[in-house]
A and B are shown apart, each in its own frame.
Chain A
Amino acid sequence: CKKDLVEKDKSQFVKSNYFTTASQARTFVTGIYQKLYMFQNGDAYGESPFITMELFAGHATSLGQSVNNNNVINNRTDAVNPGFEDVWQNSYNAISNANIALANIPGITPFADADKKALLGEAYFLRAFFYYHLVRLYGDVPLITTPVTISSPDLYPSRAATSAVYDQIISDLKAAEASGLPETDATGKVSLGAVRTLLASVYLTTAGYPLQKTANYALAAAEVQPVLSDYSLFDKYDYLHDTPHKNQQELIFQSNYLVGVATNAITQLTVPFNLLVGVYGDHLGAMIPTNAFVASYEAGDLRTQERQFYFSSYPQNGNPSVILQFGEHALYKYFHVESALGNGQCDENWTFLRLPEAQLIYAEATNEVSGPTADAYTQINKIRARAKLAPLAGLTKDQFRAAIWKERYHELAYENKAYFDIQRTHQIYDVINNTFGDATTTKNEQNVTMKAQYYLWPIPQREISTNSKLTQNTGW
């Protein structure tokens, strides 16, 4: 009778009958990439992780209806804010699938060694990528590197020390680096360039707070150097957010979207509130740069010209003779012209790593090791040249550091870098006075002074409730 009572699920595999072919392995690793979409998870209120991370940096307003966004901006959010759980849950889900891949793929035969190694390299990179986000956002986090089953001790884990998590990240990225991945990849998969840039970023971060392993500055510079020549800057900022240039030239690592398969609400979320600049169903105004931030660019910076990084007016959709004046600067950087004027289905890619970040990591790390070198100037001045700004020269180490930090803010604006910079430097960019100040005593342009507890996100309340071994971050 027992055999009779088995029903096979003909539409889905189960774990026990999977991982038998190389193609299943490839498909499973592709499944990990899908979790990169989590940064664009969101709702009609504009509570999306890519926005939440930016609101922590203090240079954006949210005109939408989101009470949670307002709470973040005003430093009164708490551990039940669903955004915190969103990132936590999806990151660990990706890590779980990476662990399953890393545990099961090696045993698959036949599977050409080189291909298998490269595929595992992608999985290592992705696991590191998600742990890197977790350790920066939540501090000490549970470190799980093997598949979890209902009976495994890892089901209820404790938090691991930040340094241990970084050790794992570095070890994973080194494994990825040695896996034979191509230098660049225009299809959207992990490339060697992506591995190196991410590892350099890890080194730069670990050289700052909280670990302050300053020896890692040199590692960062060395790691990222090959990337500088493998990639090249676009001629036009438009290419950062259009369809033909996805995964090309300066774009090192992106999550990939395609109408009909996966779309996002990046544009809907970043256009001004309820102004019909596109054909979209909603115009949510959930992340709008502060005027003070836009004003902090040097005079003549191309990036602040209309429709470069920002825009403040646009023809009304369906009625182009009416020019909508926003009364603010919205992010043209994320304006997806194809869908705004076309079918309203936004499939622009979301960029995690691009060349200017690699260049600025190189410049900053080099400066910390040996002061402003010619190579360091070369890298930052390439970015400035594209922005039609005069090259930098003759700065002290401290001046050069500040210049690089500013450049990070201005070039990588609203790309989810600023909050992490605050964490590792403990400085915020005082855009009104154009200086850097201590993060917890310097007011931002929205009149908010960051509380010390905001260096980290809280462990999501749901997670604390479910796993008694977890402790909460200080202040939350």
Chain B
Amino acid sequence: KTYSQVVTLHQKNASVEKVLRSIEKQTGYHFMYDKQDVSKASAINIEVAGVSLEQALDQAFKDQPLTYKIFQETIVVKKKDEAATVTMANIKVSGTVSDAKGPLPGVSVRIKGSDVGTQTDATGKYTLNVPEKGTLVFSFIGYTTQEVAVGGRTTLDVTLVENPKALSEVVVIGYGTSKRVDLTGSVGSVSGKQLQDRPQTNLEQELSGKIAGVNVSTNSGAPGGATKIRIRGYSSINTNTDPLYVVDGVVWTEGGNSINPNDIETIDVLKDASSTAIYGTRGANGVILVTTKRGKKGGTVSYDSYVAINHMAKELPVLNSKEFMEVEDISYANIKKYDPTGWAAGNYATRDPKLQRTALIGKLFDQNLNPLYDVDWQKATTRTSVSQNHNLAFTGGSDNINYGLFLNYSDDEGIILNSYLKRYNVRLTFDNQIKPWLKVGATLNYNNQDKRTADDGTGGNNIPRMLIEMVPFIPIKYPDGTYGKRTDYPNLEGGDNPVAQANEIESLYKTRVFSGNGYANINILPGLDFRSVLGVTTSANYNPHFQSGLVGGASASQTYSSASIDEANNTYWQWDNYATYNKTFNKVHSLNVVAGYEKTGFQQTGVYASTSNLSDNYYQYYNLGAGSIPGIPKSNYLAYQFESIFGRINYAYDDKYLLTVTGRRDGSSRFGTNVKNGFFPSAAIAWRASQEDFLKNNKTLSDLKFRLSYGLTGNSEIGSYQSLAQINTVNYVFNGAQAIGTQQATIGNEDLSWEKTAEYDLGVSFGLFNNRITVDADAYLKKTKELLLNAPLPETSGFNSVYKNIGRLQNKGIELTINTINVKTNNFTWNSSFNISFLKNKVLQLGASNDDIFLSPTFLSQFNLMRVGLPAGSFYGYKVLGTWGTAEATQAAAFGKLPGDLKIQDTNGDGKITSADKVVLGKSLPDGYGTFSNTFKYKAIDLGVDLQFNYGNQIMNLTRHSGQDRTGQANSYATVLNAWTPTNQNTSIAEDRPAYVYYQTEIYSTKVESGSFIRGRAVTLGYTFPESITKKIKLSRLRIYLQAQNLFVITKYTGYDPEVSTYNNNTAITQGTQGQNNTSNFTQGIQFYDYPKPRTFLFGLNASF
């Protein structure tokens, strides 16, 4: 990033030193030179504006006897002829290495181009045999590495300069960059290198665990599986709480899956409101700024790739054939206990399992009524899959022009049969310094994703559900080749076996994203730049679906075949114009001002067509005309736009006292005519205490900074047209033909506006022992008011709810990041990184009268509770105390229950169980989460161990409803073997009985499980080939690595994986109003049969030349 910094010099008859100082100031680079060399140079005349560093130096040294070399952030200036002479006689060199505060022990001293070296002792002294014309490399953590030519000297004292990297690390902030040390807000960053170490298929997964306060949940094991990112909790109930993605300055509307992670140079996450307020109505959920790789001077080709093997990490115990039949027999026999009247009347005689089985002798059972099959459906439907990912990058450039070409192919195979995610990505970047005052550049990106899912349709008999519920005594296929179906056995409910579904149902999601952006940067005056950026993203989403006639009913028939195509085309454009002014007055007042104007627009057109009863499966979705019962075609349109002005002032006094003030005025078409425009201000101050004289020479405390910020941000993600009283079309039938009707669908609210989040952030960061230990801590308090609440309306109005600005929500938390360098020797280093985020969420106010609101999903009953005083997304239901024992028959009878039935807590003690007895059973938000990473390096070997943890949340395991509460009409969890029997009364699983007789099922405390876990997320073992080998094969770098992902999970949760949510609406492609009315953000941890997670072993390669 620092390479992109430009230099402006207007100097006449200046000394070299003056020119170099001026460059230092502008770029943050530091110069090293021998005063003698420089003194021989003549005066410099230079007149350049907005040019690259190299250009400026080339120009400055054009007629001088000097040359330069750039090492990271240090530029060494030398005499032009120095490198030419080399002889090889060894001499003994000794000396002292010190820094500004005195001698430095433990500094590595190495002869350049060899592995020969030593370390300084406790007094900073060293001795080493060196070739007379050799060069010594002095390196120490926290300091700039120095190279010093021996030049025949036997005593070489070196003063190391504190690593300017820590000081000059540049982070991307909205509409500009800032040095990390100058930050007043809370910004977390991840470098591309960190991303490369643990490759993932998408950006969100890459971010997982990297930054405190950024919670990434991977909620499905499906390829590219549903991820959910929450930055500092949930600041909204009904509107989107996804962070805003900005890629290279342009808002990204196509989601993290459409970005190739390997193209990322850095990710910067703006967390506090002082940082995000410059994004106004879209900043409330945090902003993720992605900077992609670009071309560089010189030429590099790099190839990064991996091959991964995935297999199911955990299989859940279910009943086998014999156990299923036993449970079925017990259940049937229990009918006479639970429905004595019906039993006596003979109502159930025809349902006797023995009778059913006898009728199926030869097909499913042998002569002794033993099952012919015993299928492990979890095994049968999953596979050990192989994934691969290849990235090829070409970068190059000369002084004024650079380019980059980045190619990616990835094929991620899911562990459920036939599911996959394939991606092709091509990106071309180009930057040109046309004139000293004008730089232009462009990026073109094409992304192609093809996905086949296996877990669409939560709630139905989809594949993940049937992994558990398909009965084991029905085969995948019969000898005649037809699929086994659950209805082949009379007592069972409908549903196709999961292998049949995986083969015969194709749910495809094909996305083509084409995006491009171009910029022009004009240097108007010294320090004043104007930048114009135009970005356009278009996406074509083509989602066909086909179900063959071999599934869907009790027997194969074209009746069940269907096909549909859901298509949406999105166009987003953004035009930014802003000016940046940068100046330092009187050496101590530095000022950076940004002011600009932005206009954005989005448009979507969609079309949907479907048919069923295809004349032949051959046609799939390619010829919807081949279906005899077409559905009514649909199409939709939506658009929105924003118009904004924004500005920011950064002021620093003497690099000690920092002040940032920002403001943005946003107008959005989404809001009511009465309130289209809003203003979002923020302010922040910071104090770099370590710059104060009384701390400057402190050897322990190497860095100390305090930050305090306040800001106001908004959230406008309610979809378009929500403020209007919409008249929607519906279908009715007159005279045996379709008749179009219309209904008013929304009540309309012309006062609808954005929700406002006010956030306070207090941060402290410090470094100890030359930053061997760095600590970053933030405490924040975030209050969202005027929530865009989908507030319930009395249904007497004709409407169910309305988007209203009502209600308040609070998030507060502490984030802590500790990075340590535990061991640092020549051959071995051990670094640790630990982050933890504590989060507390509370509903402060809801609606007009603070009544409870229940969010979707509704399953069995409304359980997803929003209640004032509680964390949002609390679980609400009955507490199960166990089962009624035979000794408690009388007490049970008072509740209309029998021994063997569940004993529900009569909370209000009124002698009956009603909805008034429900209690809060848990919450979906964790108390804390974080990551503990360790990196070990021994010579060329590196080992990384990443642990992820999460605690204090609960999971609503709804699968206990159909997998445990009922038996006999689908397969059950093996837990039902522990059901109540007269001899097994100490259980909370009710006595087995068929679901059709009268079973108990509700939202019970027994469905709520702890969601705490520790995950061995990634263990990586890498080897970087030494230069001696890579040089021979003309490579500049070669690293291979082995990695295990999701190696283990320590948890009490009984499902596949505690990071789970099956109500994601992740397959909905329309971004706007459709369906959004009924969604909420609080579906995390609510599970009804999920795609199992894989454990992945990966072999990777990074090479460049």
Among A9, A76, A326, point to the contact of B637 (Cβ < 8 A).
Answer: A9
Say which one of B124-132, B421-429, B639-647, B937-945 lies at the interface with A: B639-647
Tally of B interface residues using CB under 8 Å: 102
Q: Are A149 and B747 in contact (CB under 8 A)?
A: yes
Query: Is the C-beta of B305 less than 8 angstroms from some C-beta in chain A?
Result: no
Q: Are A467 and B796 in contact (CB under 8 A)?
A: yes
Q: Which residues of B contact A31 (CB under 8 A)?
A: 729-730, 732, 741-743
Interface string of A185-202 (1 = CB under 8 A from B): 011110000000000000
Q: Are B795 and A89 in contact (CB under 8 A)?
A: yes
**Known contacts A150-B802, A276-B487; A157 and B796 CB within 8 A of each other:** yes
Say which one of B262-270, B535-543, B627-635, B680-688 lies at the interface with A: B627-635
Tally of A interface residues using CB under 8 Å: 103
Give the distance to chain A from B163, nearest Cβ to Cβ, in Å.
49
Say which one of A22-30, A226-234, A372-380, A396-404 lies at the interface with B: A22-30
Query: Is the C-beta of A338 less than 8 angstroms from some C-beta in chain B?
Result: no
Q: Are A92 and B729 in contact (CB under 8 A)?
A: no
**Known contacts A12-B727, A80-B861; A261 and B743 CB within 8 A of each other:** no
Give the distance to chain A from B898, nearest Cβ to Cβ, in Å.
14
Interface residues of A in 38-96 (CB under 8 A from B): 61, 63-65, 67, 70, 74, 76, 78-80, 82, 85, 88-89, 92-93, 95-96
**Known contacts A12-B728, A273-B996; A463 and B347 CB within 8 A of each other:** no
Q: Which residues of B contact A246 (CB under 8 A)?
A: 736
Query: Is the C-beta of B981 less than 8 angstroms from some C-beta in chain A?
Result: no
**Known contacts A65-B995, A327-B349; A5 and B643 CB within 8 A of each other:** yes
**Known contacts A12-B727, A89-B795, A155-B793; A276 and B721 CB within 8 A of each other:** no
Q: Are B851 and A24 in contact (CB under 8 A)?
A: no
Q: Are B748 and A149 in contact (CB under 8 A)?
A: yes
Interface string of A7-33 (1 = CB under 8 A from B): 111111111101000001001111111
Query: Is the C-beta of A468 less than 8 angstroms from some C-beta in chain B?
Result: yes
Query: Is the C-beta of B608 less than 8 angstroms from some C-beta in chain A?
Result: no
Interface residues of A in 154-190 (CB under 8 A from B): 154-157, 186-189
Q: Are B915 and A80 in contact (CB under 8 A)?
A: yes
**Interface of A, helix, strand, loop or mixed by DSSP:** loop
Which residue from chain A places its CB closest to the CB of B861 in the assembled complex?
A80
Q: Which of the listed residues A61, A63, A281, A319 has the most CB atoms from chain B within 10 Å of its own CB?
A: A281
Interface residues of B in 444-491 (CB under 8 A from A): 487, 490-491
Query: Is the C-beta of B346 less than 8 angstroms from some C-beta in chain A?
Result: yes
Q: Which of the listed residues A24, A92, A246, A345 has the most CB atoms from chain B within 10 Å of its own CB?
A: A92
Which residue from chain B places its CB closest to the CB of A10 in the assembled complex?
B637
Query: Is the C-beta of A125 less than 8 angstroms from some C-beta in chain B?
Result: no
Among A1, A14, A64, A141, point to the contact of B724 (Cβ < 8 A).
Answer: A14
Interface residues of A in 228-286 (CB under 8 A from B): 246, 256-262, 273-276, 279-283, 285
Interface residues of A in 337-351 (CB under 8 A from B): 342-345
Q: Which residues of B contact A93 (CB under 8 A)?
A: 743, 795, 798-799
Give the distance to chain B from A241, nearest Cβ to Cβ, in Å.
15
**Known contacts A274-B491, A281-B494; A187 and B735 CB within 8 A of each other:** yes
Q: Which residues of A contact B559 (CB under 8 A)?
A: 279, 342-344
Query: Is the C-beta of A366 less than 8 angstroms from some C-beta in chain B?
Result: no
Give the distance to chain B from A445, nearest Cβ to Cβ, in Å.
9
Give the distance to chain B from A348, nearest Cβ to Cβ, in Å.
12
Q: Which residues of B contact A460 (CB under 8 A)?
A: 795
Which residue from chain B places its CB closest to the CB of A73 in the assembled complex?
B998
Q: Which of the listed residues B341, B555, B733, B860 has the most CB atoms from chain A within 10 Å of its own CB?
A: B733
Q: Are A466 and B915 in contact (CB under 8 A)?
A: no
Q: Which residues of A contact B966 (CB under 8 A)?
A: 65
Query: Is the C-beta of A442 less than 8 angstroms from some C-beta in chain B?
Result: no
Query: Is the C-beta of B726 less than 8 angstroms from some C-beta in chain A?
Result: yes
Query: Is the C-beta of A296 less than 8 angstroms from some C-beta in chain B?
Result: no
Among A4, A275, A328, point to the contact of B490 (Cβ < 8 A).
Answer: A275
Q: Which residues of A contact B725 (CB under 8 A)?
A: 14-16, 149
Q: Are B799 and A96 in contact (CB under 8 A)?
A: yes
Q: Roughly how many angstroms separate A259 CA and B736 CA in the complex, as a whole number?
A: 10
Q: Which residues of B contact A65 (CB under 8 A)?
A: 966, 969, 995-996, 999, 1001
Which residue from chain B places its CB closest to the CB of A157 in the assembled complex?
B796
Among B734, B969, B1001, point to the contact of A189 (Cβ < 8 A).
Answer: B734
Taking A7-B669, A276-B554, A327-B348 as given, write out 15 further A-B residue pairs in contact, using a Cβ cutoff of 8 Å, ordered by the A residue number: A6-B669, A7-B640, A7-B641, A9-B726, A12-B727, A15-B727, A29-B741, A67-B999, A76-B912, A92-B796, A93-B795, A148-B798, A256-B736, A327-B346, A468-B849
Top-5 shortest CB links A-B:
A96-B798, A31-B741, A30-B741, A187-B735, A15-B725
Interface pairs (22), CB distance under 8 Å:
A5-B676, A7-B670, A9-B638, A9-B721, A27-B740, A30-B740, A32-B741, A65-B999, A67-B1000, A92-B798, A96-B798, A149-B725, A154-B797, A157-B794, A261-B731, A261-B732, A276-B487, A281-B552, A327-B349, A327-B350, A446-B341, A466-B793
